[in-house]
Structures are given as structure tokens and as C-alpha cells.
């Protein structure tokens, strides 16, 4: 499972930093590069609920193998013949990586329930580390030739295919039918929503096409909910969305990812900004920025690894709320202590630690909030909340930046970053308040401790 997740992290981390250089080499305009990135975000949003539902219906291992084959094929296509078209097709195929986590958790919960929590924490840690490592390796390979870095994911993809073949099948009960009409509505609604979030800043948030697309997204998604409520075999059970435990965890995931993932791009911009030109920033080069990013994901690995032990000592609700509190603390620290590099890095490491903590606990609790046969879909909904939170966070931060451009220049004023850090902290506080409303089901902790005792882990 860790090898499969390793591929997912490498793919998420290696391509985006290469796009500017690769685009220049392949004569792809800035608009074209942005469209490639946009395609990947659309693919993530659309495939998350569909692959999760198909896994619960037709078997987690079967769908996982399909997903790994799609990601491997897309990675190979991009590396062998890089063009604007193959990059576009490749990133869409790579979008199937969003199915990795829900499907793997479905297998894990079915075949080794006593290792569910420690297993998820390990997978989250591997994911975070591999995202950082993927960017560093791709950057090193591309120093002499921009397109060489496109081969970063290929060797790992071969290993992941072998791992997917070796994995056992889950014995979770299956049943039901795939609702194609609901799938079309959900896909159209999510595509419209992601387009608004990704392009709203470019088009203008008050522009007619932005408003029309936003209204269209709301109408189509409302129609999808109506269809699902009447369906005997819903694509995504609307009743699942009314599960209070799953609703709290997904809402918390949205709030936590708003800043931790939504601010990543802005974080790199701040670290690379020239203080002589802007009055702020750390004057760092790409390699130094990548090193700090790697330190943040290493802290995330530590947070993820600590999560099972912390939940045993403090309880699920306390750990969930602590993750949100640490995120808020980290962003408040950035707003106050951003004049010197050591102070800023300490705050960034706090955010990194909290990222590992929240990604591990939220995925664990979303899996445990539903019956075993709905595990992949529940985790998939949490993944969708994470993606939407990150997209909306990035859009809000971009709006702050556009509203705080220094007159006569193209530089963002320091106030733009202050508003961004403040927004991330405020949303994290809201997530913390939501986490405090979490209530575990009776018997969960006792059952969990019994599993740990049987496996020897508790001792």
C-alpha cells in the first residue's frame, strides 16, 4: 500500500514545478500551462466520488488496479512524448490517483481492521514525504534538460503496478448499481464549480461568465441531490452526508485544507520575494524553497506518525481539534513573525506538523463513521472536501493578492499576505470549533483498544 501511495505523492509533487521550464521548451504559453494545471484539478474533483463509489460496488482491488494503470499510463505518455496534447491527456489520466486513498483504506479496513489507524497514519506520512521528494528529484533531473524531470514518476509507477497486483482483495460486501444519470449531473456540477474557483480571479469574480457558471454549478448540483434522494441505487447516498460524524469530519477537513494546502503556492512566493524590491520576503532561490518545503512535509510525516498514539492518550475529538488549533497558531505566527527566516520557518513547520495530524485523523474518522461496505465512498467524500477546501483557499488568497497590489508595480503588498494569513487562521479556528462538536460512536474506543491488544501494538 505504501508503494502505491508513493506513486500518488510523486505524481502530485513532480509535475507542477516543471511546467514553467517544460512549457518554455515545448512552446506552451502561460495560458496553456495554466489550462494543463486546471485539467488536473478538474480530473481530481470529478474522479474522487466516482472511483470511490465504483470501488464499493465492484471491488476495491479491481478499481485500484485500474487507477494505478491509468496513472502509470499517463506518466509514461508524458515522459515518452511530451507535447501540449500528451501533457493534457496525461494529467487527466494521472487524476485517477485520487482513488488510491479511498480504495486502499477500503482494503485495509476489510483485511486488517486492527491496523486501520496505524496503517492510515503511515500512508499519510508516505504521501506527504513523497510529494516533497518528487519535486526535489524532478528539479534535479531537469537542471540540464527540462524534459528529463518528466521521467520522475515512471520507475515508481512500475513498482506501484507490481504492488497493486500483489495486494489482496477486500472482502467487504458489494451490491447495488451505478447510477449513470447521477454521475453525469455530479460531474457537470463539479466541473463548473472547479472552473469558477480556478478561473474566477482571472475572469473577474463579478464577470458575467463567472457568475453564470457559478449559478449553473449550484443548479446542477441541486438537481443531482434531488435525483439522488429519489434513486433506489444512489451514486452517493445523500443520507451519508447527513451522518453527523462524517459531516463534522468533512467540514473540518475543508477548513484545515483551506490554509495548509491553499496557501502552499503563496508560501513559495513569499519565501522567494526580494526584500529590496517588495519590502518583505526571504530572497530564497528554488533549491532553498524546495528544502523548506521538504522540511514541512517531514514535519507532516512526524505528525501523521504520532496521530495513533495521540488518539489513544487524548481521544479522537481532542486530536481533531488540536490539528485545527495548530494550524491557526502557525498562521498567526506567520503574520506576527515573518521578518526573519528562522522565525518564519518555525511557524511553517508548525503548519506542516498540523497537516500530517489532520490528514491522518480525518481520513481515519471518515472511514470509521460508516459501515464497511461504504468505506471507500466515505473516505472519497473526505478527499473531495480536502480538494475543494484547498481550491477555495487558493482562490480567496489570490483575491486578497489582487486587491493589494502595490501601485505602479506588479508586486503584491505585504498587506495582501497579512490578509491571507489572517483568513487561513480564521478558517482554521472555525474548523477547530467544528471539531469540538465531534462525537464518536459508543464502543469505538473499546473496540479499537481490543484490536490493538490482540495485535500486540498496545503493549
59: which 3 cell numbers?
A: 471491488
* CB-based contacts of 252, cutoff 8 Å, min separation 6: 320, 323, 324, 358, 362, 431, 434, 435, 438
- 195 and 313 inside one domain: no
Give the C-alpha separation, 191 to 193, whole Å.
5
- 163 and 201 inside one domain: no
- 169 and 218 inside one domain: no
Structural contact between residues 300 and 352, judged by C-beta atoms closer than 8 angstroms: yes
Give the C-alpha separation, 29 to 20, whole Å.
9
Place of cell 433506489: 232
- 266 and 350 inside one domain: yes
- 335 and 323 inside one domain: yes
Structural contact between residues 395 and 420, judged by C-beta atoms closer than 8 angstroms: no
How many separate domains does the chain show? 3
Helix (H, G, I), strand (E, B) or coil at 171: coil
**Is it the case that residue 443 has pLDDT exceeding 60?**
no
pLDDT in tens, 177-230: 788 888 899 889 988 888 887 777 778 888 899 999 999 999 999 998 888 888
Structural contact between residues 373 and 174, judged by C-beta atoms closer than 8 angstroms: yes
CA angle (262 as vertex; 304, 200 as ends), nearest 5: 155
Give the C-alpha separation, 254 to 75, whole Å.
29
Of 219, 234, 249, the last residue of a domain is 234
- pTM reported for the whole predicted model: 0.83
Structural contact between residues 150 and 82, judged by C-beta atoms closer than 8 angstroms: yes
Helix (H, G, I), strand (E, B) or coil at 405: strand
- 142 and 191 inside one domain: no
Per-residue confidence band for 312, with pLDDT thresholds at 50, 70 and 90: very high
The domain that holds 136 is classified in CATH as 1.20.1250.20
Give backbone dihedrals phi and psi of 279, rounded to 5 degrees, phi first: 90, 0
- 120 and 187 inside one domain: no
- 413 and 265 inside one domain: yes
Q: For the chain, give percent helix, strand, coil, nearest 5.
A: 80, 0, 20
- 28 and 74 inside one domain: yes
167: which 3 cell numbers?
A: 495486494
Taking the CA atoms of 304, 5, 246 and 351 in sequence, report the sign of the dihedral they define.
Answer: positive
Q: Which of 75, 77, 240 is nearest to 160 (CA)?
A: 75
Sequence-ordered strand ranges (E) for 176-333: none
Give the C-alpha separation, 198 to 36, whole Å.
12
- 207 and 347 inside one domain: no
CA separation, residue 46 to residues 40, 95, 194, 377, 394 (Å): 10, 9, 9, 13, 19
- 241 and 171 inside one domain: no
Cβ contacts of 396-399, under 8 Å, gap ≥ 24? 396/258, 396/262, 396/420, 396/423, 397/262, 397/263, 397/266, 397/423, 397/424, 398/201, 399/200, 399/201, 399/205
Mean pLDDT of 303-322: 94
Of 176, 193, 219, the last residue of a domain is 176
CA separation, residue 329 to residues 249, 316, 341, 392 (Å): 20, 20, 17, 21
Residue 114 structural domain: 1-176
Structural contact between residues 85 and 36, judged by C-beta atoms closer than 8 angstroms: no
**Is it the case that residue 442 has pLDDT exceeding 50?**
no
- For residues 202 and 364, the model is more confident at 364
pLDDT in tens, 83-127: 888 998 999 999 999 899 889 998 988 888 888 889 999 999 999
Give backbone dihedrals phi and psi of 125, rounded to 5 degrees, phi first: -60, -45
- 18 and 128 inside one domain: yes
Element (H, E) at 47: helix 30-58
What is the percentage of the chain residues whose pLDDT exceeds 70? 93
pLDDT at 441: 56
**Is it the case that residue 395 has pLDDT exceeding 60?**
yes
Buried residues in 45-70 as b, exposed as e (16+ CB within 10 A): bbbbbbbbbbbbbebbbebbbbbbbb
pLDDT at 172: 62
CA separation, residue 351 to residues 328, 356, 401 (Å): 8, 9, 21
pLDDT in tens, 117-159: 899 999 999 999 998 888 888 878 877 787 888 899 999 999 9
Amino acid at each position: 500500500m505504501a508503494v502505491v501511495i508513493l506513486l500518488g505523492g510523486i505524481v502530485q509533487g513532480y509535475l507542477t514545478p516543471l511546467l514553467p521550464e517544460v512549457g518554455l521548451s515545448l512552446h506552451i504559453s502561460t495560458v496553456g500551462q495554466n489550462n494543463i494545471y486546471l485539467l488536473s484539478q478538474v480530473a481530481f474533483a470529478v474522479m474522487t466520488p466516482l472511483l470511490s463509489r465504483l470501488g464499493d460496488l465492484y471491488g476495491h482491488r479491481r478499481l485500484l488496479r485500474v487507477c494505478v494503470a491509468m496513472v502509470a499510463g499517463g506518466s509514461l505518455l508524458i515522459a515518452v512524448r511530451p507535447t501540449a496534447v500528451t501533457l493534457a491527456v496525461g494529467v487527466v489520466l494521472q487524476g485517477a490517483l485520487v482513488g488510491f486513498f479511498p480504495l486502499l483504506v477500503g482494503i485495509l479496513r476489510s483485511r486488517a481492521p486492527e491496523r486501520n489507524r496505524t496503517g492510515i497514519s503511515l500512508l499519510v506520512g508516505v504521501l506527504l514525504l513523497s510529494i516533497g521528494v518528487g519535486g526535489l528529484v524532478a528539479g534535479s533531473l531537469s537542471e540540464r534538460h527540462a524534459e528529463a524531470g518528466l521521467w520522475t514518476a515512471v520507475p515508481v509507477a512500475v513498482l506501484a503496478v507490481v504492488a497493486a497486483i500483489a495486494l489482496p482483495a477486500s472482502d467487504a460486501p458489494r451490491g447495488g448499481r451505478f447510477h449513470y444519470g447521477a454521475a453525469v449531473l455530479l460531474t457537470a456540477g463539479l466541473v463548473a464549480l472547479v472552473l469558477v474557483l480556478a478561473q474566477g480571479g482571472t475572469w473577474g469574480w463579478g464577470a458575467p461568465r463567472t457568475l453564470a457558471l457559478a449559478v449553473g454549478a449550484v443548479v446542477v448540483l441541486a438537481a443531482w441531490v434531488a435525483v439522488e434522494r429519489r434513486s433506489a441505487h444512489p451514486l452517493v447516498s445523500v443520507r451519508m452526508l447527513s451522518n453527523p460524524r462524517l459531516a463534522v469530519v468533512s467540514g473540518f477537513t475543508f477548513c484545515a485544507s483551506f490554509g495548509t494546502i491553499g496557501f502552499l503556492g503563496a508560501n513559495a512566493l513569499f519565501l522567494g520575494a526580494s526584500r529590496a524590491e517588495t519590502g518583505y520576503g526571504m530572497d530564497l532561490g528554488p533549491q532553498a524553497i524546495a528544502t523548506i518545503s521538504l522540511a514541512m512535509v517531514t514535519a507532516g510525516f512526524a505528525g501523521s506518525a504520532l496521530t495513533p498514539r495521540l488518539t489513544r492518550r487524548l481521544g479522537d475529538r481532542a486530536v481533531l481539534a488540536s490539528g485545527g488549533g495548530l494550524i491557526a497558531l502557525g498562521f498567526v505566527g506567520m503574520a506576527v513573525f515573518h521578518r526573519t527566516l528562522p522565525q518564519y520557518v518555525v511557524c511553517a513547520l508548525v503548519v506542516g506538523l498540523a497537516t500530517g495530524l489532520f490528514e491522518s485523523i480525518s481520513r481515519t474518522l471518515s472511514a470509521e463513521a460508516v459501515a464497511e461496505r461504504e468505506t471507500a465512498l466515505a473516505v472519497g467524500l473526505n478527499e473531495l472536501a480536502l480538494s475543494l477546501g484547498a481550491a477555495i483557499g487558493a482562490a480567496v488568497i489570490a483575491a486578497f493578492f489582487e486587491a493589494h497590489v502595490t501601485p505602479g508595480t506588479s508586486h503584491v503588498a505585504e498587506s495582501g499576505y497579512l490578509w491571507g494569513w489572517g483568513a487561513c487562521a480564521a478558517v482554521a479556528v472555525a474548523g477547530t470549533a467544528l471539531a469540538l462538536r465531534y462525537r464518536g460512536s459508543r464502543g469505538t474506543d473499546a473496540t479499537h483498544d481490543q484490536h490493538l491488544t490482540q495485535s500486540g501494538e498496545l503493549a
